[in-house]
Structure 1
């Protein structure tokens, strides 16, 4: 619509009465803006729904990067899934943190002890789905690396216990090839064995016959 008005202004196109009517143009603009806004909401809701379905009953560690450093949180980008999540560094309502982050507004950073977070810093976060409120499920991000005592969560790889001797022995027994029975197992093998037996018997008969003729 804007391009049509510009074309009319420079004389490149002809106009019509409805295009110059302010009320109709305003109503049309409101309708277009409303449909565009609803389409964006629908797209976001679809992404959120499929993300929640994917992470339902699943906990995993993923590599991410700090996109924004805010006063109370870090905005993390997960390249593997192409979505952003919020890692809160200040206590939310009803929560208590044993560590304290210091926000530096000048260089846009968060500091906790010797660990400093800047934009584009790589981090490892643990992704899980919070289903405490079924009407408002959300993907929760928890820091794994860099490690901050009393704030970071242990990595999933570290929680896997080392294999015991019994499990290693069972694995060796499982990996050992089983001795195959020499008896034929298929009709083809059985037929081949019968043919070999008949050939051997025929060869023995011919050999005895030739031996008798030579005598």
Structure 2
């Protein structure tokens, strides 16, 4: 019996080590990175959807706000207006690493499509954002300082500063 207990203990510890290794490699992969990927709903729960991202083999909860979604216990669906989310539905989700608590980093899933106002993640287009920048000519021309205002793209500004 002592031999069986020791084998079971070692097996359990090996399982924990394997899971921790997968979690560490996942966190390293998604550190300072954001991915938008296809997902499949595995289960519908009262406050979340359990989703699988086939590309990475990841499974996790996609939390839904209770003020926008209504859970139907009989059919196991989440309803928000005209949108009904059920098992085996295909979604698009955003994957990021939540580092707000450094000791307990976790992978966060956010809904992208189907689009639900106030819930779905919307990517900000940096190309649409423009900044006004004051450019001063310091060549020392005789007419005094020339000033002009230019509108430049945020993307090109970031490229120049690198």
TM-score range, shorter chain: 0.7 to 0.9
Q: Which residue number corresponds to residue 153 of structure 1?
A: 121
Unaligned runs of 5+ residues in structure 1 are: 1-24, 92-98, 168-215
Q: Which residue number corresponds to residue 87 of structure 1?
A: 62
Taking the aligned partners of 1:86 and 1:159, their CA distance within structure 2 comes to 27
Taking the aligned partners of 2:76 and 2:100, their CA distance within structure 1 comes to 33
- 1:23-172 correspondence runs (5 A): 25=1, 27-90=2-65, 99-154=67-122, 156=123, 159=125, 161=127
Q: CA deviation at 1:34?
A: 1.4
Q: CA deviation at 1:112?
A: 1.3
Which structure: greater strand fraction? Answer: 2
Structure number with the bigger relative contact order (C-alpha 8 A, sep ≥ 6) is: 2
TM-score normalised by structure 1 residue count = 0.57
Taking the aligned partners of 2:55 and 2:126, their CA distance within structure 1 comes to 23
TM-score normalised by structure 2 residue count = 0.74
Taking the aligned partners of 1:32 and 1:90, their CA distance within structure 2 comes to 44
- The total of aligned residue pairs comes to 133
Taking the aligned partners of 1:36 and 1:62, their CA distance within structure 2 comes to 34
Which structure: greater helix fraction? Answer: 1
Unaligned runs of 5+ residues in structure 2 are: 129-151, 154-162
The structure that has the greater radius of gyration is: 1
Taking the aligned partners of 1:31 and 1:107, their CA distance within structure 2 comes to 45
